[in-house]
Chain A
Amino acid sequence: MTPFRINPAVWFVAPALALIAVFFFLPVLAALLLSFTDFDIYALGDVGLLRWVGLDNYRRLLVDPLFHTALRNTGYFVAVGGPLSVAVSLGMALLLNHGLVRGKGVFRALLFLPVVTALVAVAVVWRYLYHPRHGFLNYALGWFGIAPIDWLGDPAYAMPALILMAVWKNFGFNMIVFIAGLQSIPRRLYEAAMLDGAGPWRQFLHITLPMLAPTFLFVTIITLIGYCQLFAEPYVMTQGGPADSTLSVALLMFQEGFRWWNLGYAAAVAFVLFLIILLGTVGQAWLRRGDSSTTFPNE
């Protein structure tokens, strides 16, 4: 009988695993436990006042109108902002990848610029653009005889305003990924298609789109995850207002946790958000399961 021996590889991975355990699994576990308690300001002062409430936080979430509002707002942002962002970045990538465009590098850098700009700085400028009486946007609408809109103050327009800003700010990242995807399509496919008499539209439909499918999946999943975590835009622009029309799930979590110090409840919100994102991501992958080329671009 051979003595029990640990695979030597374990020793090589152990430090990394330990780090992951300490800095990832342990906090997640602690947060999960927290979500079953009513950890709040009293418990912060005296741990003896902590109560184990089981699933109460989750039950309360289900009926909390504020959570429903937050969920609806986040859903709105993802459903409208997500596709818009992907469409704009694809369009820009196609434009920039076209043979006729000069100075591609310059344009790429310019269009990528919003991505690397600090959001707080962007927010200051956009707040001026959106100003109901002195903002440029309403001034421009005035040229077409459209009455001024109170972009950030009107509950009906606040979310579209944030979406517009978020799409402008974020499309550059996806655009770069799309450009990389476009450039990995072999030229010979287009040459063959041209010999067969396919026009630009047919080339796009039958070569570009299918070849971009893996990139597309990657971009949509990354965008979905990022947009589900909507936080900074409403935090700096509207604080969730007016009338909660821009309150996102992540912002609600932040307010419950760090404004009111209901950490138990905030942890429950965090786990529900995590589940939603997980379901969304799995659902996306499942929708594309028939696609033989469903792999990430680098795989």
Chain B
Amino acid sequence: MGIATFFRRYRSAPGFAALLACLALAGCGDGSGPVRLQFWAMGGEGEAVRQLLPEFERLNPGLRVEVQQIPWSAAHEKLLTAYAGEAMPDVFQLGNTWIPEFVALRAIDALDAGRVPEAIRARADYFAGLLATNEIDGRLYALPWYVDTRLLFYRKDILAQAGFSEPPRTWREWSDAMARIKTLPGGERYALLLPMNEWQVPAILGLQVGAGLLRGGGRFGDFQSPAFRRAFDFYLDLFRRGYAPALAEAQIANLYQEFARGYFAMYITGPWNIGEFRRRLPEAMQDQWATAPLPAPDGEYPGLSLAGGASLALAQSSAHKAEAARLIEFLSAPERQVAFHRLTGDLPTRRSAWDAPELAGSDKAQAFKAQLERVAATPKLPEWERIASKLAHYAEKAVRGELSPDAALAGLDAEVDRILEKRRWLLDRERSAR
């Protein structure tokens, strides 16, 4: 089936729905009807956030919120397409690595200038590393909604069986534990699940050893640096030694079932999986899994992780910016962050929310709090998403042995330099204009 037929068939339905919604809006726009805010949220969050909204609507009688749930895998495309088609929602969830891109597009409006007063006042309450990812050139463009830093989920029983009572603190301990797990009896099993199509783990390992990823103020790729090379070798070793299966995420039909069966003992993933693990793992398994901050390459535990997360942004094109800002403020309040945590397992971005008993008393969550003290951001430029996908691409080529590590990193740098060509031109133009 060709591309045209495909889109005629599958993309026309939501478009038509949007058209109907516009007509309906226009019909009740004049006068008495409530203001309808369009809110796009991704994946499980899009579903869970609906349960918080009745309270918002009760507090703001003139406002109605319409949530559209979009899958994470299609979110980036969909937001860009909506921007190009001038069909942006009023408020939307945005991965915080995408913020520079949407700022460059002028798709989002800054939140400072008194737009969300309470949340802005509470600036110090946010984890600093997280808030920094939302700031570009000194302006705050979005508010961190929940934390998405990655760390280790592991099976306590399997680790104990391998002779480790504590989660690994250094790369060396980590490797030893994985080697030991690999030799345990009980059929086909792996120490670590590391989906090959994810760029996060190679990037995290690089940041841990101090690699800058880019050089020259984001003008060139810097993946052939000795530091990144060291991290990349460690990453490839995980597959070479058979600690991790060479699988893409889509190939694991039900990773919760596989985790429960002991197919793999460790998994580097994010907080959303706390809720999923609680819900989907069998009752007997609930005491057997735990979370821990990432091991560090050398002494300084915990090792760095990504200051990942999702933020709430306000569309430049919104016709109801004041109302939309009220929704952002409402969802950012500590008590709502705690309520949202109850619904999804997503972790709050404000320190005061962590005082809630279910967070203060949960080992699984506290590991994240420890990790949050050691987070770093990926380079803040619009091309990052694309660079990240190239990183995943070349890492996969190296894992599969199609390219030697040197060739993969050289290819990656060449490709990144090409991607950054326009940015170099822009930066040079700005410099000569000054």
Residues of A within 8 A of B (CB): 38, 40-42, 44-46, 49, 51, 118-120, 131-134, 150, 152-153, 155, 226, 229, 231-233, 235, 238-239, 241-244, 250, 253-254, 258-261
- Is B1 touching A243 in the complex (CB atoms < 8 A)? no
| B382/A41 in contact, CB under 8 A | yes
Q: Which residues on the A side are within 8 Å of B101 (C-beta)? A: 41
A-B contact sample (19 more), CB < 8 A, given A41-B80, A226-B1? A38-B422, A41-B104, A44-B84, A45-B106, A45-B107, A46-B106, A119-B1, A132-B251, A150-B251, A229-B2, A229-B3, A231-B1, A231-B2, A232-B2, A232-B6, A242-B396, A250-B3, A254-B3, A259-B77
Q: Is the CB of A119 within 8 A of B104?
A: no
* B10 close to chain A: CB less than 8 A: yes
Q: Which residues of A contact B248 (CB under 8 A)?
A: 153, 241-242
* A229 to B197 Cα, complex, angstroms: 25
CB of B36 closer than 8 Å to a CB of A:
no
Residue pair B80, A42 in contact (C-beta under 8 Å): no
Across the interface, which residues of B come within 8 angstroms of A242, CB to CB? 196, 248, 396, 400
B3 adjacent to A231 (CB under 8 Å): yes
> In the complex, what residues of A have CB within 8 A of residue B382's CB?
41-42
Given known contacts A241-B197, A243-B402, A259-B76, is B253 in contact with A235 (CB within 8 Å)? no
Nearest-CB residue, chain B, relative to A38:
B422
B253: which A residues are within 8 A, CB to CB? 131, 133-134
Q: Mark B66-110, 1 if CB is under 8 A from A, else 0.
A: 000000000011001101100000000000000001001111000
A interface footprint on B230-259 (CB within 8 Å = 1, 0 otherwise):
000000000000000001101101000000
Chain A proximity of B100: nearest CB distance (Å): 10
Chain B residues, Cβ within 8 Å of A232: 1-3, 5-6
Residues of A contacting B4 with CB < 8 Å? 229
Minimum CB–CB distance from B385 to chain A (whole Å) comes to 8
Q: CA of A45 to CA of B2 in the docked complex: distance in angstroms?
A: 30
Which of B76, B84, B105, B400 has a CB less than 8 Å from the CB of A243? Answer: B400
Q: Are B105 and A44 in contact (CB under 8 A)?
A: yes
* With contact pairs A226-B2, A241-B197 given, residues A120 and B10 touching in the complex (Cβ less than 8 Å): yes
Q: Is the CB of A260 within 8 A of B386?
A: yes
User: A261 touches which one: B80, B197, B393, B396 (CB < 8 A)?
Assistant: B80
Whole-angstrom distance between the alpha carbons of A43 and B71 in the complex? 27
How far is the CB of A41 from the nearest CB of chain B, in Å? 6
Query: Given A40-B422, A41-B105, does the pair A152, B251 have CB atoms closer than 8 Å?
Result: yes
- Please report which residues of chain B, range 389-434, place their CB below 8 angstroms from some CB of chain A when the two chains form the complex: 393, 396-397, 400, 402, 422, 425-426
Q: Check B77–A258 contact: CB distance below 8 A.
A: yes
